[in-house]
Amino acid sequence: MRKFATLIVTAMAAVMLPAMAAQADDLIKVGFAQVGHESDWRTASTKSCQDVFSEANGYDLSFVDCDNDEAAQKEAVRSFIEQDVDYIIIDPIIATGWDTVLTECEDAGIPVIVIDRTIDDSDKYAAWVGSNFKTEGLAAGEWLAAYAAKQGIEELNVLTISGSTGSSAQIGRSDGFNEVAEKYGWNLIDEQTGDFTEAGGQEVMENYCKSYEGQFNVVVCQNDNEAFGAMTAMDNAGVTYGPGNDVILISYDACTAGLEEVKAGKITADFECNPLAAPFVEEVIKKLAAGEEVEKEVYMVEHWYALEDQIVDFEIDGEAQEMTLVTDEVIEAQY
Amino acid sequence: MNKKSTWAKIKGWSLFLPVMSIILVMAVNIIHDIAVGANPFSFFMITLRQTTGNGTILYGRIIDILNRGSEVAILAIGMTLVVSSSSGTDISVGSVMSLCASFCCMLLAGYGVSSTTTLAVPLIVGLLAGILLGVVCGMFNGTLVAYFGIQPMVATLILFSAARAIGLLLCNDLIVYVRNDSFGIFGGFCGVIPTPVIIAAICILVIAILLKKTALGMYIQSVGINSKASRIAGLNSKRIIFMTYLLCGLFAGIAGIVASSRITSADSNNIGLYFEMDAILAVALGGNSLGGGKFNLAGSIIGAYTIQAITTTLYALGVSSTQAPVFKAIIVILIVAIQAPPLKAYLKHRSNAKQLRGGAA
């Protein structure tokens, strides 16, 4: 029994000592209130923050996983204020109801950096760092236009498997892609939600294959998991897809598993949604520390992936885009 | 006179309304196909289709309904027994599905591995461990309900919220991909028939035989109607309630494996999400009272496929997925309403009155 007690005390000391030592040092204290852990993308986002704001880099990170509970998230931010951290990072679970909490942060003199999702009812934060979903949609559309021209495909009949209805990723990607589709006069046959899941993508595609048999040559999936599902459903319907086949398969997110399918010649092109916000946040923090002006909206750099034959030149609003060739090294380096 | 009595016999059949409901739901497609000038029976056509790399399979919307409805049908078996014996519902089945799938995939891939094509342990070990974990969850629920006397919804609320989280822990917060053909077969095809259909059929058959050949069905009903009286009559009420929860957990485990094999991965956040609601709905659509006691297993199974028939029909009609839940709700209300006792009593009263008038004339 005594042995056991000693063991516990030793273990507690082992856990707590580094924490105490860290406090003694002159580290920059950062509090991060994360949404939760609902997807691979989210896990990559969390890991990115933990890697960048490590002790070795001179930071002391308090990380709170809010498990999709908006009340818990506001509590977490208040606890950061009590701990008197230097910077607060929030990935807001919902867009509204933030003004009071952010005012408290402002009164305490702690700059807030919002990442990924947006805050709509308050501007009391230093900067927002995230993806421009509409640009992703525009990129997919403009790439498709350039690729179809190169291949000599005249008529594009598009089926979309969209993400969770009303999510900012779904709205932005649909808006961007549909804008391009309208510009070129493509036929958008149908858009049903697959809820960002593989099972959802499978079921929607299974029904598309029966409802629109032989009537479509483009399938757009708003994340990789939906694309995996659509692939199974098209296999079972005897529809061929990918470079050089009947159907052009477009996907978003470009996670490791997605890039592997690009490499295997299944997904024709994959448009990244970068979860690694932390390096961009660190830049903002450095600027704030130096007393420099920071931009209110910081868009992350994102890549458009394809194999060599599918890499074509295209522009978004007059800006030339560069595509990334998928190789084993690229897949290895991806989150 | 004779003809009328046959009709009356059909109407008196306990499955008349559930069967009518599913037929009516699917009949909507005939009207739609005629309206758009397509083959009126295109919804019901089953053909053989050459797949890419999967051989020849049965292909058609009816096959889709049978295939996609499998998980809810399997869950509905356990849910029916639980409802009957304990007058309560097991709301943990969806989360337990996710937990079992996660555990199975975690074993197959090895802990901490997020994507694999080779299996770390023999397939059968992973499958049995997943299903066994379902049984353990069922036993946990059963113990709380039967031996601790906790209300079923409260007791199963524990695993409802905890099981999915435990699954996430097992999977290290990642989606674990087990891209292995031998694992994929349980959600894929066995010859020309979708394997989930076969698995569901086996589950239904085994339970049907068990209920028919033994007195178990009668025991469950008698415990559900009056557990105290059953105990006095010599039945071990607690053990019977415990057993129904155990079976419910077992079927949740099987459904979890099927759902996970379909996508050859353990998507802890999404597998079985809201399936407990569909399973309860299936029991209700089957004409069963959620108050416990008498039950009709076939009704619940038909109820499960009715839910899938509604979903597939809405896809076939091209209803936007944002509006689909509204239509689904309307159809469900109609089906439940026509089976409601007051309406049934009214219809019976009316037909009696008609008969009387007919007799007088």
Whether residue B3 has pLDDT greater than 80 = no
Write the DSSP symbol of residue A311.
Answer: -
- A38, A68, A196, A207: best to mutate for the B interface, most B CBs within 10 A: A207
Contacts of A256 in chain B (CB under 8 A): 115
Angle at B53 between CA B48 and CA B57, to 5 degrees: 20
Look up residue A78 and give its two tokens: 């208040």
pLDDT at B137: 98
Helices B2-12, B16-35: inter-axial angle, 10-degree rounding: 100
Concatenated DSSP letters of B256-287:
HHHHHHHTTEE-TTTTTTTHHHHHHHHHHHTT
Looking at residue B12, its pLDDT comes to 77
Interacting residues of B353 by C-beta distance below 8 A, sequence separation 6+ = none
User: Quick one: pLDDT at residue A23?
Assistant: 52
| B11 vs B298: CA distance, rounded Å | 16
> Which run of H or E residues covers position A249?
strand A248-253
Q: Tell me which amino acid residue B151 is.
A: Q
Q: Identify residues of B whose CB sits under 8 angstroms from chain A CBs.
A: 49-54, 57, 59-61, 64, 68, 114-115, 168, 173-175, 177, 189, 259, 262-263, 265, 267, 269-271, 312, 315-316, 318, 320-322
Q: What is the pLDDT of residues A22-74, one digit of tens each?
A: 454 689 999 999 988 777 788 889 989 999 999 999 999 999 988 888 899 99
Contact A199 B312 (CB under 8 A): no
What pLDDT does A117 receive? Answer: 87
Nearest to B279 by CA among B82, B103, B133: B82
Determine the average pLDDT of the residues in B92-111.
96
Does residue B42 fall inside a structural domain?
A: no
CATH number of the CATH domain containing B219: 1.10.3470
Per-residue confidence band for A16, with pLDDT thresholds at 50, 70 and 90: low
Task: Give Cβ neighbours of residue A214 (< 8 Å, ≥ 6 apart).
Answer: none
Does residue B311 form part of some domain? Answer: yes
Confidence of residue B233 (pLDDT cuts 50, 70, 90): very high
CA dihedral for A269, A42, B169, B147, sign (positive or negative):
negative
* pLDDT at A13 exceeding the cut of 90: no
- Whether residue B360 is predicted with pLDDT greater than 70 in this model: the reply is no
- Is B279:B75 a contact under the CB 8 Å cutoff? yes
- On whether residue B214 sits in a domain, the answer given is yes
Q: How far apart are CA B286 and CA B77, in angstroms?
A: 11
> How large a percentage of chain B has pLDDT more than 70?
98
Contacts of B175 in chain A (CB under 8 A): 39-40, 225
Q: Is A203 within 8 Å of B271 when comparing Cβ atoms? A: no
Least confident of A32-46, B123-137, B185-199: A32-46
Q: What percent of chain B has pLDDT over 90?
A: 74
Provide the 3-class DSSP secondary structure of residue B176: strand
Question: Rg (Cα) of chain A, in Å, rounded?
Answer: 23
For the cut 60, the answer to whether the pLDDT of residue A21 exceeds it is no
Structural domains in chain B (count): 1
Query: How confident is the model at residue B305, as a pLDDT?
Result: 97
- Hey, how many other C-beta atoms are within 10 angstroms of the C-beta on B122? 12
Residue B206 placed within a domain:
yes
B201 to B184, B185, B194, B237, B245: CA distances (angstroms): 19, 16, 11, 29, 21
Q: How confident is the model at residue B266 (pLDDT cuts 50, 70, 90)?
A: very high
Specify the amino acid at residue A83.
Answer: Q
Task: Check pLDDT > 70 for residue A6.
Answer: no
In a domain, B146, yes or no: yes
pLDDT averaged over chain A?
90
Query: How far apart, in whole angstroms, are the C-alpha atoms of residue B73 and residue B196?
Result: 10
pLDDT of residue A19: 53
Q: Is the pLDDT of residue A186 over 60?
A: yes
Q: Which of A199, A200, A235 sits opposite B54 (nearest CB)?
A: A235
B49 located within any domain? no
pTM here?
0.88
**Does residue B177 fall inside a structural domain?**
yes
Name the token pair of B272: 């079985």
pLDDT at B154: 96
B92: Cβ–Cβ under 8 A, 6 or more apart, which residues? B137, B141, B156, B157, B158, B159, B160, B163, B252, B276
Residue B2, pLDDT above cutoff 60:
no
Amino acid type, B187: G
pLDDT at A113: 95
B297 to chain A, closest Cα gap in Å: 27
Measured at the CA of A203, the angle between CA A198 and CA A205, to 5 degrees, comes to: 95
**Residue B139 confidence (pLDDT) above 60:** yes
Higher pLDDT, B58 or A7: B58
Alpha-carbon distance values, B330 to A194, B20, B187, B197 (Å)? 22, 17, 31, 28
Nearest CA-CA partner of A77 in A129, A120, A128, A34: A34
Distance from C-alpha of B316 to C-alpha of B320, rounded to nearest angstrom: 10
pLDDT in tens, A104-163: 999 999 999 999 988 888 889 999 999 999 999 999 999 999 999 999 999 999 999 999
Q: How far apart are CA B342 and CA B338, in angstroms?
A: 9
**In A, which residues are within 8 Å of B161 by CB distance?**
none
Residue B125 sits in which domain range? 67-317
Q: Say if residue B38's pLDDT is above 90.
A: no
Does B213 score more than 90 pLDDT? yes
- Give the model's pLDDT for residue A11: 61
Of the two residues B343 and B283, the one the predictor is more confident about is B283
What does the buried/exposed string (b/e) look like for A135-174 if buried means 16 or more CB atoms within 10 Å of the residue's CB? bbbbbbbbbbbbbbeeeeeeebebbbbbbeeebbbbbbbb
Amino acid at site A202:
Q
User: By percentage, how much of chain A surpasses pLDDT 90?
Assistant: 76
- Taking residue B280's Cβ as centre, other Cβ atoms within 10 Å add up to 22
SS3 call for B185: coil
- How many residues does this entry show for chain B? 361
